[in-house]
Amino acid sequence: MLSKLIETNKAPFNKVDVDPVNVDIIENALSNAREEMDAVLFRTAMSPGIREQGDCFPIIANRDGKMVVGQFGSFIKGFLDAYTGQIEEGDIILTNDPYLCNAAVSHLPDWIVLVPIFKDGRHLAWSAMFGHMSDNGGMVPGSIPIKAETVFQEGIQIPPTKLYKKGVLQHEILELILRNVRTPQWNRFDLNALIASCRTAAKRCVELAERFGDDVFNSTMDIILERNLIAMTHIIKMIVPESPRVFEDYICDDGMGMGPYKLKCTMWREGDKAFFDFDGTDPQAQSSINFYLNEELFKMFFGSFTINMIDPQIVFNDGFYELVEVRVPEGSILKPKYPAALSGRTHALGRVFDILGGLLGQGAPEAMNAAGFSDSPHLFYSGYDDNNEWFQLFQIGFGGIPGRPVGDGLDGHSLWPGFTNVPNEFIEAYFPLRINTYETIADSGGAGLHRGGNGLCVAYEFLNNGKIAIHDDRWLTYPWGVNGGKPGLRSSKLLIRKDGSQEYLAAKCDDIVVKKGDVLYFNTWGGGGWGDPLKRNPELVLTDVNRELVTIAGALEYGVVIANNAVDSDKTAALRHKISTERPEIQLFERGGTIEEIKARCLQETHLEPPKTPVFHAAGA
């Protein structure tokens, strides 16, 4: 397909030997250019989601679309496989349509900019960046409607479109797109920032080719990809077994009263090649929690996960993709049929990482993490301020990092690469909100030899009337512990009205009316614990109690008795002996019970009714 796209501009490169020193120089220069893409974006974008949180992913790829350096995305190949138009110098392509780019993006709020890099009239490479836009139109502010049943309810669909044609901006197309969003100014600035970021990378690639020569630059890209291939060949043989391993986890609900939804994956190896088969995953949902999982994207997840686990110094790229085969059943929640809704796909996306951890960890329990990626909690707040001007906040919250082989999980932190929180000062300065509380939730991290990270309690006081929406998960199922570690605490959302009345909100809800003076307690889940909590040093437990990360009652989960701000050694020894003799045999995974058991105590523990078991139909959900 690619040769058809740019046939007239694809004079062949000569494959040449490159001095290893030059390879390292070019590799580091490309890595720096990838970092510079972020710097340009963050300094020129306008929305807090991109500017403050970093919800964007850069790529520099060779001209075949293989990512050579990047952060957390591999979406050029999916686009190229689907696009049939001609690409010329000066073109800049924009798309957000998962169904027309093979799920190179997986929901409409993510807008991709792709820039073909030319030098002396010949196609040299690609740069690309996608960013999560504050709004994409559709049923609700923020464009992630819980109750959407088709993608048409989720906002404007932008097929692969030349936003710039031979260097000329197509103004009418841009204005048509921006007319269909609620935050046109933010989207305009953010889109320009994405373009500027890609142009910066293009400039750096041309400079490198001018310095070292086109053939050296192109051959070095191949060498960088080959290095990754060689490294991943060894890693796959080391961590992926020939005999199949199976793991499953669940999305708690679909926001429409049904759930949980099972994700199941079987992993094995044949020779050098790893296989991942999602057969047994539940059919697609009626609502927007479907996640159109591009197979190349999953390979990227797998590579990112394993490289960071084994050797973070390895340059992460697409070089190893031929070593992995991914099978996702059509019509499943991970490959829904058009026009299924997709906007709430974050829950399944996060769960895929927990599944990867569960699969790979079975062969090396001492090296695995507990569950904790789990989700990416969203809060939306919109309305009109005192000046009758529209405001709209989209913010990603953080939960607890899981307990790890090397130590405790971090408290209130993000597992997304490079993500940060939106500073409270920024929120209070630009939105009618006051942050009354911002603290970790004691005991929310699962007990263990290494404690799971605690979740966050953020209390938002609304200073204007408006509407909120919440997108979260792990309110029904627990972030599981491993090697004897306990599960983390589940998430909850409590709305306290100005008159003192209280209401527990569902983890997924839209169009909740709030009044000035109402307060939302946005509580996220904790990470699962790692290892036997009875083996944790009692003095560390005391330190956690003093730091208000664990309560005195919570210390009993570790078999530690604290009195008068000190560990009672005799009572601790007696309690630990009692627990160790009465508890069942330690299991590799501690999920907090079966789905049936968890549902049975749902109302008592969460103040919410358990979801009903989904009824699937032949065409999907």
If phi over 0 gives left and psi between -120 and 50 gives alpha, with beta otherwise, what is residue 563? beta
When pLDDT is cut at 50, 70 and 90, the band that residue 215 belongs to is very high
* Average pLDDT for 217-230: 96
Q: How far is Cα 212 from Cα 208, in angstroms, rounded to an integer?
A: 6
Q: List the structure tokens of 16.
A: 């040449």
As a whole number, mean pLDDT of residues 168-192 equals: 98
Cα distances (Å, whole numbers) of residue 335 to 64, 287, 294: 25, 14, 8
In whole angstroms, give the CA distance from residue 218 to residue 208: 10
C-alpha pair distances (Å), 287 with each of 237, 261, 302: 39, 12, 27
Q: Where are the alpha helices (DSSP H) in 325-423?
A: 346-361
User: What string of DSSP letters covers 453-468?
Assistant: PP-EEEEEEESS-EEE
Distance CA 506, CA 478 (A): 16
pLDDT (0 to 100) of residue 72: 63
Structure tokens at 405: 């082989």
Q: Give the pLDDT of residue 364.
A: 87
User: Which comes out higher in pLDDT, residue 170 or 354?
Assistant: 170
- pTM: predicted TM-score of the whole model, two decimal places: 0.93
**Residues forming beta bridges with residue 461, ordered by sequence position:** 434, 519
Q: What percentage of the chain carries pLDDT values higher than 90? A: 82
Buried b / exposed e over 143-163, threshold 16 CB at 10 Å, is: bbbbbbbebebbbbbbebbbb
What confidence score (pLDDT) does residue 310 get?
79
Residue 468, phi then psi, degrees to nearest 5: -125, 160
**Domain range list for the chain:** 2-232, 368-472+491-523
Q: How far apart are CA 506 and CA 255, in angstroms?
A: 8
Predicted local distance difference test score (pLDDT) of residue 305: 81
Q: How far apart are CA 533 and CA 1, in angstroms?
A: 55
Higher-pLDDT residue of 342, 77: 342
At 488-504, the pLDDT tens digits run 999 999 999 999 999 99
Distance CA 2, CA 11 (A): 13
- 280-314 tens-digit pLDDT: 999 999 999 999 998 988 998 898 888 877 777 78
DSSP state letter for 55: -
Query: What is each CA distance from 138 to 99, 113, 146, 180, 392, in whole angstroms?
Result: 17, 21, 11, 8, 14
421 or 387, higher pLDDT: 387
Which stretch of DSSP H or E encloses residue 237? helix 214-239
Per the prediction, the chain carries an average pLDDT of 93
375-400 pLDDT, tens digit each: 789 999 999 999 999 999 999 988 89
CB contact at 8 A, 408 and 513: no
